[in-house]
Amino acid sequence: MSPINARLLEILACPKDKGSLIYFEDEEALYNPRLQMRYEVRQGIPVMLIDEATVVNQIEHERLVAKASRLNLKPTF
């Protein structure tokens, strides 16, 4: 597991709504809570393709939002 470069994280945005993302390093994922879209991170490289994103269900959305809050994870910008 390779983390995303910190400088890259500062500018990453969702390709669909251009909004900020939440980075879950331990899950190798970037998450857009507004659209409930999850983007995979492969070997430290974010896969920011809308067609490859996963739309999560409400239960998974609530889990990710709660985890971000609990861990005090900040949006990318």
β-strands 54-55, 45-46 pairing: unpaired
Domain boundaries, the chain: 6-70
Q: What is the pTM of this model?
A: 0.95
Q: What is the pLDDT along the chain (77 residues), one digit of tens a residue?
A: 788 999 999 999 999 999 999 999 999 999 999 999 999 999 999 999 999 999 999 999 999 999 999 999 999 99
**Total residues found in the chain within this entry:** 77
**Domain 6-70 class?**
mainly beta
CB count in 10 Å sphere of residue 17? 11
